[in-house]
């Protein structure tokens, strides 16, 4: 009963906290972590590893096929551009249409050759460009600064802010459901995944050590960065409760056990007082 009461009290505390301030702290922490990520070297290393193992080839094939489909779907734009840039004589004789057809056919043959021949010269040029990009992402400060600016623009984008807001609301709702009904929270795919993780941790000592180290570092880092803010938020929330609110929340959480504690405390205190009075009288 005490455990159930404690979970209810924790849920009440979570609901009673200033959601705007708490949500602002959490969302600010998420945005700060995203901005602190140095993405350029990671992207460069991933691209370099993909090219080294040949995993970039399907991506290159996909780009070539996409370009061919796009050209086919928009050939009228090419014809329009050629028509607008052709002289009056070409338009009058209809040769502009022949020029447009030649351009479109030539481009499609070029794309077909690139798709069929992995050693095509243009394909090799594209791969050389990808290799330079991977190197610049890892070692060029100017390229890394460009990636950082793009990262910050994405984080500051209203769509990303709405996504972070939704992420916080989902996490808060899930935490409340888990606290109020732990049994239900452990059901379904989440519960099965957690049980599998628990079984793996029991069997794999090395994984346990890695998880313990990660949790300790994360806890220390979070405490150092946000401990004061969390303590202030909780303290101000509880300080705003009057005696009736505190008593009501404790009684709702602990229930009849709190009444037993009160009765037992009164009885024990009375008996101790009576014993002291008796001894004092006899002496």
pLDDT per residue over 192-222, tens digit each? 666 676 777 777 777 778 777 767 776 666 5
| Contacting residues for 133 by C-beta, under 8 A, at least 6 apart | 44, 47
CA distances from 36 to 80, 115, 156, 172, 246 (A): 48, 40, 14, 24, 40
Q: What is the mean pLDDT of the chain?
A: 74
pLDDT at residue 145 is higher than 90: yes
What torsion do the CA atoms of 66, 72, 77, 79 make, to the nearest 10 degrees?
A: 140
Which residue is associated with the tokens 């935490």?
Answer: 175
Which tokens hold the place of 102?
């030649």
The residue-averaged pLDDT of 93-121 equals 84
> Worst-scoring range by mean pLDDT, 77-86, 216-225, 247-256?
247-256
Contact indicator for 76, 63 with CB cutoff of 8 Å: no
**pLDDT classification of 187: cutoffs 50, 70, 90:** very low
Three-state DSSP class for residue 119 = coil
Residue 260's pLDDT band (cuts 50, 70, 90): low
Task: Using alpha carbons, select from 261, 243, 252 the residue that is nearest to residue 12.
Answer: 252
Asked if pLDDT for residue 168 goes beyond 70, the answer is yes
Cβ–Cβ under 8 Å, residues 167 and 30 = yes
Q: Which residue has the higher pLDDT, 135 or 59?
A: 135
Q: Please give the residue that has the higher pLDDT: either 71 or 223.
A: 71
Position 281 scores a pLDDT of 64
């Amino acid at each position: 009963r005490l455990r159930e009461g404690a979970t209810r009290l924790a849920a009440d505390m979570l609901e009673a906290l200033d959601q705007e301030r708490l949500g602002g702290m959490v969302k600010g922490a998420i945005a700060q972590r995203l901005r602190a990520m140095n993405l350029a070297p990671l992207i460069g290393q991933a691209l370099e590893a993909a090219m080294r193992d040949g995993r970039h080839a399907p991506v290159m094939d996909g780009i070539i096929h996409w370009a061919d489909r796009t050209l086919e779907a928009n050939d009228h734009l090419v014809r329009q551009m050629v028509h607008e840039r052709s002289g009056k004589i070409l338009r009058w004789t209809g040769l502009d249409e022949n020029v447009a057809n030649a351009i479109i056919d030539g481009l499609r043959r070029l794309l077909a050759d690139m798709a069929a021949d992995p050693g095509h010269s243009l394909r090799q040029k594209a791969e050389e460009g990808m290799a330079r990009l991977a190197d610049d992402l890892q070692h060029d400060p100017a390229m890394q600064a460009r990636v950082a600016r793009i990262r910050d623009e994405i984080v500051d984008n209203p769509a990303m802010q709405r996504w972070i807001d939704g992420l916080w609301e989902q996490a808060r709702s899930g935490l409340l459901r888990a606290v109020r009904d732990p049994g239900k929270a452990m059901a379904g795919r989440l519960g099965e995944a957690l049980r599998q993780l628990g079984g793996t941790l029991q069997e794999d000592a090395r994984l346990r050590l890695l998880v313990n180290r990660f949790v300790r570092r994360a806890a220390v880092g979070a405490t150092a960065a946000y401990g004061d803010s969390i303590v202030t938020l909780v303290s101000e929330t509880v300080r705003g409760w009057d005696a009736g609110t505190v008593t009501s929340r404790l009684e709702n959480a602990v229930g009849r056990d709190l009444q037993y504690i009160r009765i037992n405390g009164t009885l024990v205190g009375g008996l101790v007082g009576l014993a002291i009075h008796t001894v004092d009288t006899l002496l």
